Structure 1
Amino acid sequence: MSAPTANSPASGVFSPTRARIQERTLRTDRWWLSPLRIDLGFAAFLIYATARGLQKEYFFVPQYHYLTPFYSPCMAKACGEASEFWPQILPNWWFVPYAALTLPFLLLFRLTCYYYRGAYYRTVWQSPTACAVAEPRVHYSGETKLPLIIQNTHRYFFYVAGIISVINSYDAIVAFHSGNGPGGFGFGLGNLILLGNVIMLWIYTLSCHSCRHVTGGRLKHFSKHPVRYWIWTQVSRLNTRHKLYAWITLGTLMFTDAYVALVASGTISDLRFVG
């Protein structure tokens, strides 16, 4: 990291009270390995999700009503049977995903998530990359100016994410009504995958720090609100593993989408248990 010029103000690692060390860090361990793994994980999901979102093929299995979460709710004019419940109002432009009305909210919910913020601040923004490793910039204003001030809207995206989780739950339930004849019942491996993904999405959403605040925030006396206190304690237990659930759901989303795509394309057949 280069030293500041004569006209640049002294701050951070260049403060007069800090030791004058030319090396970026004196650490001898592989401190860069953790941020590298996180960057690779983020990159893998972003590349896969972008490619699948723009592919606009193999997202729905009409026979079993399997709809990938990447296309739910499907509101484009080309959604066909995948959009029986939702109005088809989006144009079929190649750069507009079929679920374009909800995907931005889900993306912002993840981007403003407390865990993800800490993760990409260290890896992408490098603020700092690791303990005892200097930042590549002199100034850091925190979340008080654009664009990072947008992080303070996380609680509002949490509400939208809850609604979208309800929609994903609806998709998983409807997929069980795929037996012979109208109103029939059936399920296969795809149903279990869709259901497992929805459960993990709910766990991730409910373990959110904003959910913890919604359930127990602004209470002066927990003893006067026993129900909210109980809910708050349960959410707090989930919250301790919010980081784990954040990564698991990235995996379940890709796995669920890949399975639906393989069945929809005819590459594999769904393993049916009933119906």
Structure 2
Amino acid sequence: MSAPATERDAVGVFSPGRARILARTLRRDRWWLAPLLTIAGLAAFVIYATIRSFVRTAYYSAEYHYLSPFYSPCLSESCVPGASHFGTPFPELPMWIPLAFLSLPFLLGFRLTCYYYRKAYYRSVWLSPPACAVAEPHSRYTGETRLPLIIQNSHRYFFYAAVIISVINTYDAVIAFHGADGGFGFGLGNVILVGNVLLLWTYTISCHSCRHVTGGRLKHFSKHPVRYRIWTQVSKLNTRHMQFAWITLGTLVLTDFYIMLVASDTISDLRFVG
């Protein structure tokens, strides 16, 4: 007769009726590699973005109107001249408040509650579970029904905020077509800014919430051909949501890093026109 079930035995892979295997897993492949790479990638972005959001240096090139996405919109009197594309309705801010304090919390909320990012950090950070057929270290699982995970249900609202911020980033990219003489100008920085914005839009509209907004409540697609067409296209993008999630982390860093180099006069912007 088997030994009585302990508290840990009561759930998950150790629950009664499951095979009594004490090993964490019988897998012989490097199952830990994917979670490790995920947490390394996310940690690298968080560290870089946090530092750049608070240093308040080399985030705007006055000559070409290049504004880093980590500082948009810049609405405080603490912003350098020209960086406030929508005015300065807020007074100077202490150093512990990022200049893009209106957008960064919503963008962080949008990313953290994203369906793909949930999968990524559930597996890599919380190890719930770390990989298929690998026992998780938690004795209980309550799902997204209690704090803090119940906040995940607010993803659709963060999506609406992300759309507004994407519009602002698009405006920043458009007015950056500014030459040194005040007229039209076009350089490598414009290519990077526009590319970043296009990929951010792709990531945003490939979101599961966007898919639900466009066609999730429809009962008869035939009665709503336009929305059905939009839903179809969003669904195609949705299959690449994971790739866009990672690509946009890279383009955000690339955009900010390039603007930092130009704004600090470390390099000169490669100009094609103006």
TM-score bin, normalised by smaller chain = over 0.9
Determine the structure 1 residue equivalent to 2:55: 55
Please give the residue correspondences for 1:101-120 in structure 2 after superposition, counting only pairs within 5 Å.
101-120=102-121
**Which shifted more, 33-42 or 83-92?**
83-92
Determine the structure 1 residue equivalent to 2:43: 43
CA RMSD of aligned residues (A): 1.5
Give 1:94 deviation, angstroms: 1.2
**Paired residues of 1:62 and 1:81 also in contact (CA < 8 A):** yes
**Which shifted more, 51-60 or 4-13?**
4-13
Determine the structure 1 residue equivalent to 2:33: 33
Determine the structure 2 residue equivalent to 1:260: 259
**Paired residues of 2:179 and 2:273 also in contact (CA < 8 A):** no
**Paired residues of 2:72 and 2:169 also in contact (CA < 8 A):** yes
Q: TM-score, normalised by structure 1?
A: 0.95
Q: Deviation per CA, 1:119-178, whole angstroms, max 9, x where unpaired?
A: 111111111000110010110100111100100000000000000000000000000133
Give 1:17 deviation, angstroms: 1.1
Determine the structure 2 residue equivalent to 1:152: 153
List structure 1 segments (4+ residues) > 3 angstroms apart after TM superposition: 4-9
Q: 1:221 to 1:233 in 2, by over 3 A?
A: same
**Paired residues of 1:90 and 1:98 also in contact (CA < 8 A):** no
Determine the structure 2 residue equivalent to 1:213: 212
Identity %: 68
**Paired residues of 2:59 and 2:67 also in contact (CA < 8 A):** yes
Give 1:11 deviation, angstroms: 1.4
2:10 is paired with a residue of what secondary structure?
coil
Give 1:272 deviation, angstroms: 0.5
Query: How many residues of Structure 1 are paired with residues of Structure 2 in the alignment?
Result: 270
Q: Deviation per CA, 1:57-98, whole angstroms, max 9, x where unpaired?
A: 000000000000000001222212100423241533111100
**Which shifted more, 89-98 or 208-217?**
89-98
How far, CA to CA, are the matches of 1:25 and 1:9 in structure 2? 15
Give 1:101 deviation, angstroms: 1.1
**Paired residues of 1:73 and 1:86 also in contact (CA < 8 A):** no
How far, CA to CA, are the matches of 1:131 and 1:8 in structure 2? 19
Q: 1:155 to 1:15 in 2, by over 3 A?
A: same
Q: 1:68 to 1:9 in 2, by over 3 A?
A: same
1:244 is paired with a residue of what secondary structure?
helix
How far, CA to CA, are the matches of 2:134 and 2:273 in structure 1? 57
**Paired residues of 2:177 and 2:184 also in contact (CA < 8 A):** yes
How far, CA to CA, are the matches of 2:8 and 2:250 in structure 1? 44
How far, CA to CA, are the matches of 2:112 and 2:244 in structure 1? 15
Q: TM-score, normalised by structure 2?
A: 0.95
Determine the structure 1 residue equivalent to 2:185: 186
How far, CA to CA, are the matches of 2:262 and 2:5 in structure 1? 60
**Paired residues of 1:190 and 1:270 also in contact (CA < 8 A):** yes
Letter in 1 for 2:142: S
Structure 1, unmatched stretches of 5+, are: none
2:272 is paired with a residue of what secondary structure?
strand
Please give the residue correspondences for 1:1-40 in structure 2 after superposition, counting only pairs within 5 Å.
6=6, 10-40=10-40
1:143 is paired with a residue of what secondary structure?
coil
How far, CA to CA, are the matches of 1:217 and 1:7 in structure 2? 41
How far, CA to CA, are the matches of 1:24 and 1:220 in structure 2? 45
**Paired residues of 1:14 and 1:138 also in contact (CA < 8 A):** no
Letter in 2 for 1:29: D
1:205 is paired with a residue of what secondary structure?
helix
Please give the residue correspondences for 1:43-192 in structure 2 after superposition, counting only pairs within 5 Å.
43-79=43-79, 80-181=81-182, 184-192=183-191
Give 1:5 deviation, angstroms: 9.0
How far, CA to CA, are the matches of 1:98 and 1:121 in structure 2? 30
Letter in 1 for 2:173: A
